[in-house]
């Protein structure tokens, strides 16, 4: 009798547990960034931001459409490679994720955006800055950071109007991001009276810039603008010091504006000549920046780079739209994204009709005493 009673109780518990799990729905959110290769530190930081958001959401007991939702992050590596990026996007489409956070690079995000559009899944990037991303007019593409029109123009204005520089050499890494931000800088600098004395290009895999820099040194520019990422900027700065280019200012967009560049320059004094621009506000000026950063550093010590507050907000933004639509179906909730008025960690997020963030902020930074310091 006792054994029978135990079996009955166990069966009852199993039934209740089954009912509970039936009422819980798993919703997958995709994330894509370079998790391998020279840009892996960016990718890890981005993934940390999205994962932190998912963890926070799962402690909130979110209910949508009458069901308790458990969020899961499906993270993919695109290695900053456009082909791998589109393959990762297709994998997420096939897995029927509810939405995607990413990608990091413009060169991967732009081709992936067509894949997401074709399968009807929204994606939100807080890192890819090439203005061409939103030109096709896909209703599934959203950006929550300033694009290169703001970054390149802001840097050129600072060089010409504040520092009164007259000449500049321009280098880009031939990626969608690098070429895009360099072109905006170059055009704006020219309209402000700066002379472009040399134009060179490299790749996003290169580490030896001696030939390029020797050619530029012969033109004696006041500054160099580099359109690219910090794994190239750091050795370039070291080689500039070796060539005696210790007074040449060095400009770049958010791709070089990281914490890791401080370690990678290995003490080169030329780091003091860097002026870089980030889309968005500095952590101190973000609405929830400093409190969020303390939580991030406790969870992921020493891993912060630049974009994780944006991937955190992008994840939260997707779920905010799901809540307002009372649906996790991308077809139902995607139109709600365009109506967002979301108070995020980074900013109050609302969109233009093309998916660009309204009133994007921009921050200029320099490096002083081995630390990144905002100028505005």
Q: How far apart are CA 111 and CA 106, in angstroms?
A: 9
**pLDDT tens figures, 250-261:** 999 999 999 999
Gyration radius from the chain CA atoms:
23
Q: What is the CATH number of domain 149-279?
A: 3.40.50.2300
Which pLDDT value is given to residue 60? Answer: 97
pLDDT at 303: 96
Which CATH fold would you assign to the domain 25-146+284-361? Rossmann fold (3.40.50)
Edge-to-edge strands, sheet with 249-252: 195-201, 167-172, 223-227, 249-252, 274-279, 362-368, 371-374
Give the range among 4-18, 188-202, 222-236, 347-361 with minimum mean pLDDT: 4-18
Q: What average pLDDT score do residues 309-335 get?
A: 98
Kindly indicate the confidence band of residue 8, based on its pLDDT and cuts at 50, 70 and 90: low
Summary mean pLDDT of the chain: 94
User: Is it the case that residue 183 has pLDDT exceeding 80?
Assistant: yes
Question: 14 or 249: whose pLDDT is higher?
Answer: 249
What does the domain layout of the chain look like in residue ranges? Answer: 25-146+284-361, 149-279
Average pLDDT of the segment spanning 222-233: 97
CATH fold match for the domains 25-146+284-361 and 149-279: yes
Dihedral over Cα of 357, 363, 364, 369: its sign: negative
pTM: 0.85
Contacts of 329 (CB under 8 A, 6+ apart): 98
pLDDT score for 354: 97
């Amino acid at each position: 009798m006792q054994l029978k009673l135990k079996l009955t109780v166990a069966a009852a518990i199993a039934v209740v547990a089954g009912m509970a799990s039936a009422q819980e729905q798993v919703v997958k959110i995709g994330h894509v960034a370079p998790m391998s290769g020279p840009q892996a530190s960016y990718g890890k930081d981005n993934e940390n931001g999205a994962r932190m958001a998912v963890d926070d959401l799962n402690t909130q007991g979110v209910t949508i459409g009458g069901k308790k939702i458990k969020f899961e992050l499906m993270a993919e590596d695109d290695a900053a490679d456009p082909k791998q990026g589109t393959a990762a996007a297709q994998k997420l489409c096939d897995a029927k994720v509810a939405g995607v956070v990413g990608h990091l690079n413009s060169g991967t995000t732009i081709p992936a955006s067509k894949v997401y559009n074709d399968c009807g899944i929204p994606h939100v990037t807080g890192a890819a800055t090439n203005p061409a991303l939103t030109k096709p007019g896909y209703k599934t593409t959203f950006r929550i950071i300033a694009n290169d029109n703001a970054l390149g123009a802001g840097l050129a204005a600072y060089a010409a109007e504040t520092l009164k520089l007259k000449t500049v050499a321009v280098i880009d890494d031939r990626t969608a991001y690098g070429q895009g931000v360099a072109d905006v800088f170059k055009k704006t600098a020219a309209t402000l009276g700066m002379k472009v004395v040399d134009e060179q290009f490299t790749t996003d895999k290169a580490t030896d810039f001696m030939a390029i820099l020797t050619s530029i040194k012969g033109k004696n520019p006041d500054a160099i603008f580099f359109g690219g990422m910090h794994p190239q900027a750091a050795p370039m700065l070291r080689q500039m010091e070796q060539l005696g280019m210790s007074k040449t200012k060095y400009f770049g967009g958010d791709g070089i504006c990281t914490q890791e560049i401080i370690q990678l320059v290995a003490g080169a004094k030329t780091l003091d000549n860097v002026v870089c621009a980030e889309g968005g506000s500095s952590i101190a000026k973000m609405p929830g920046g400093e409190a969020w950063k303390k939580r991030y550093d406790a969870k992921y010590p020493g891993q912060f780079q630049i974009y994780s507050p944006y991937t955190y907000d992008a994840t939260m933004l997707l779920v905010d739209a799901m809540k307002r639509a009372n649906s996790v179906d991308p077809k139902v909730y995607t139109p709600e994204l365009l109506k967002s008025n979301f108070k995020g960690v980074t900013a109050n997020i609302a969109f233009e009709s093309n998916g660009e963030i309204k009133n994007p902020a921009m921050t200029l930074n320099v490096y002083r005493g081995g630390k990144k310091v905002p100028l505005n």
